[in-house]
Every structure is written in structure tokens, then in C-alpha cells.
Amino acid sequence: MDPEEIAIEERKLRIEEQKLEIEREKLKLEDRKAKWTTASVLTSVLVAGATISFGAWSVQSTAKSQLQTETAKLMFTGDDSGTAVGKGLAMVDVLGDALPKDFQGKLLDNKWRTDYLKRYPSRDANYEQKIELIKTLAASPKKRRKIIENWCLMFHDDTWVEQSFGTANVPDACRPKK
């Protein structure tokens, strides 16, 4: 082989080595691309999972909050604290663990219920009638004694008149018989 052919062969060999090096660099680049693509996909999946989890938590939290609000509204609709406690106990029976533990605990605790009913006594059964009595007394002050006497005849067991207007202002008909 002559020197010129050897030089050509050496050049071809160098070119092949350069091609091989370029191919190695391409493979490294493809490997990096694959890693970044995998990281990108995993990040997207993680973000989507976190978004779905947060959404589910948020919906559950909102529903729980709304249940608590509606429970409180239902309990305290009305004028009677005994009814409120009764409604609360019924909700504990029906809804159970859907209600907060402290809410259930208070309602199921006899001492708490007793204290609650003392703090917030039930409204008098004759409340509306008493309001009407006061309006009637205000409208007819000259007939006060007769109006009170009629009241006592209708509600003979009620001591409210004597407590409210004083013994001196209450006709004998309102006093318990001895």
C-alpha cells in the first residue's frame, strides 16, 4: 500500500471516529431528554394528583362545614332550649360521626345539658299571652285591676303576675288559697 492510500485510510478512520463520537454525544443528549421528559411527566402527574386531592378535601371540608351550620340552624330554630337539645340529640343519633366529636360529646354529656338548660331556660308556655296582657294593660290602664283579675282566673297556677306587678297590685283572686 502506498503512502497516499495509507493517508486516505487514516483520514477515513479519523472521520469514522468523529462520527462515532458524534453518535455518542447524540446518545447522551437523548438520555438527558428522556430523563427530563420523565421528570416532566412525573411532575405533571404529581401536580394533578395534588390538585385532585385538594379538591376532594375542599369539597369534604365544605360539606362538613355546611352540615355543622345547618345542624346549628335547625337546632336553634324556635324558642325553646329543651327542643334545641332534643333536636341536637336526634341529629347525633341520625348523623353520628358526620358531626364533630365535641358537638356530640357536649350533647351526650348530662352535666352540659343541665347547665345549658339552666343558662337558657325554655320560654314560658304562656309567653304570647303575657305579651298580650302587657299590651292590654298598656292600652287600658284604668281597667288594670280587672284585667289582672281575669288573667288570674284563666291562669290560676301562674305566679308570674305577682312576681311582675308586686303583691300590692295583685287582686286577691290571684293569690293562692290557703
93 and 106 fall within a common domain: yes
Burial class (CB in 10 A: 0-12, 13-18, 19+), 137: middle
31 and 63 fall within a common domain: yes
Residue where a domain stops, chosen among 39, 55, 75: 75
Residue 175 has pLDDT above 70, yes or no: no
Structure-block grid coordinates of residue 23: 453518535
114 and 160 fall within a common domain: no
Residue where a domain stops, chosen among 60, 75, 90: 75
100 and 157 fall within a common domain: no
pLDDT band, very low/low/confident/very high, at 55 (cuts 50, 70, 90): very high
Residue 43 has pLDDT above 70, yes or no: yes
What mean pLDDT, rounded, does the chain reach?
86
Residue 173 has pLDDT above 70, yes or no: no
108 and 84 fall within a common domain: yes
60 and 14 fall within a common domain: yes
CA distance 36 to 45: 14
Q: Which of the pair, 29 or 71, is modelled with greater confidence?
A: 29
Residue 32 has pLDDT above 70, yes or no: yes
CA distance 60 to 151: 55
18 and 60 fall within a common domain: yes
CA distance 44 to 49: 8
93 and 160 fall within a common domain: no
Report the number of distinct structural domains present in the chain: 3
Domain interval for residue 52:
1-75
5 and 70 fall within a common domain: yes
φ and ψ of 158, to 5 deg: -85, 120
11 and 39 fall within a common domain: yes
Residue where a domain stops, chosen among 105, 123, 141: 123
Q: Which of the pair, 135 or 120, is modelled with greater confidence?
A: 135
52 and 83 fall within a common domain: no
pLDDT band, very low/low/confident/very high, at 157 (cuts 50, 70, 90): confident
CA distance 15 to 59: 65
60 and 12 fall within a common domain: yes
pLDDT band, very low/low/confident/very high, at 178 (cuts 50, 70, 90): low
Mean per-residue pLDDT, 42-56: 95
CA distance 141 to 113: 42
